[in-house]
Amino acid sequence: MGSITSPAAGADRPLADRLRARVALALRERVAGQDNAAKAALIWDTPGERWFTASDPIWRVHADAWMFAAGIRALHLQSLHPLAMVGVAGHSGYQGDPWGRLQRTSTFLATTTFGTIADAQSLIAAVSGIHERVRGRAPDGRPYAARDPHLLKWVRSCLSGPASWWSTTSPNLSGRPQTIRHGRPGSGANPTWARWNRRSQSRIAAQACVERNHGASGIPRS
């Protein structure tokens, strides 16, 4: 979440570079909000201990522009679970404010990855409190809850899968083992979002199939 030079600056730069800077600024405002500079300053400049460092895989993944593509892929995977989507439709403001919803998710990921432990824990507690109230029944009568362990496994698989795919695609991790989205043991990260496990792509795919077929109830569908 470092600074990006204004496209108005460096008018003598090649046209391709100026266009790239303009697109980067526009995308940044959409994903992180128009107040992204203030958010970045709060995350990066606040003194204090952090869960992760530049040497951790999760830091490299979340700092790379390829995360935009991986994030879209993760959302598409998550949408395959009917109970996850019923919960989103019933408790999220994404339809009325899709960009705001994306920006809040972006702030959460940036804070828990790059911010101080105190700020990360505060934000995790706020999100966990919201998730406690996300529960109900799908049109077919099946119950759902944001804290349901099967739904959490599904969402985590959707997040881990694209990140693992990213590790084989991005030139920044070329040749590196696919051990993405994990932190240090004992970091104290929230089990819902911020505890990253070391998984191979085959295990991620297998878990996703199980969660897709069993649903949040854990009972196989006929």
| 32 and 58 both lie in a single domain | no
pLDDT at site 207: 57
pLDDT at site 211: 53
| 92 and 176 both lie in a single domain | yes
Please report whether residue 69 resides in a domain.
yes
Residue ranges in the chain modelled with pLDDT below 50: 1-5, 7, 175-201, 215-222
Please report whether residue 22 resides in a domain.
yes
| 96 and 173 both lie in a single domain | yes
| Residue 186 backbone dihedrals phi, psi, to 5 degrees | 80, 15
Q: Are the beta carbons of 138 and 86 closer than 8 angstroms?
A: yes
Please report whether residue 99 resides in a domain.
yes
| 117 and 175 both lie in a single domain | yes
pLDDT at site 101: 85
Range of the domain at 147: 52-214
Task: Please list the helix, strand and coil fractions of the chain in percent, rounded to the nearest 5, in that order.
Answer: 55, 5, 40
Question: Could you count the other beta carbons within 10 Å of the beta carbon of residue 194?
Answer: 24
Prediction pTM value? 0.70
pLDDT at site 111: 95
pLDDT at site 3: 44
Distances (CA, A) of 149 to 14, 33, 73, 144, 201: 51, 31, 22, 11, 21
pLDDT at site 173: 53
Distances (CA, A) of 47 to 117, 119, 120, 208: 10, 11, 13, 39
Residue listed under structure tokens 């993405």 = 180
| 149 and 186 both lie in a single domain | yes
| 84 and 186 both lie in a single domain | yes
Please report whether residue 23 resides in a domain.
yes
| 19 and 117 both lie in a single domain | no
The beta-carbon contacts of 180-186 under 8 Å, at least 24 apart in sequence, are 180/57, 180/58, 180/61, 181/57, 181/58, 181/61, 182/57, 182/58, 183/51, 183/52, 183/56, 183/58, 184/51, 184/52, 184/56
| 29 and 136 both lie in a single domain | no
Please report whether residue 108 resides in a domain.
yes
| 117 and 179 both lie in a single domain | yes
- How many structural domains is the chain composed of? 2
Please report whether residue 219 resides in a domain.
no
| 20 and 70 both lie in a single domain | no
| 15 and 57 both lie in a single domain | no
pLDDT at site 62: 83
| 102 and 165 both lie in a single domain | yes
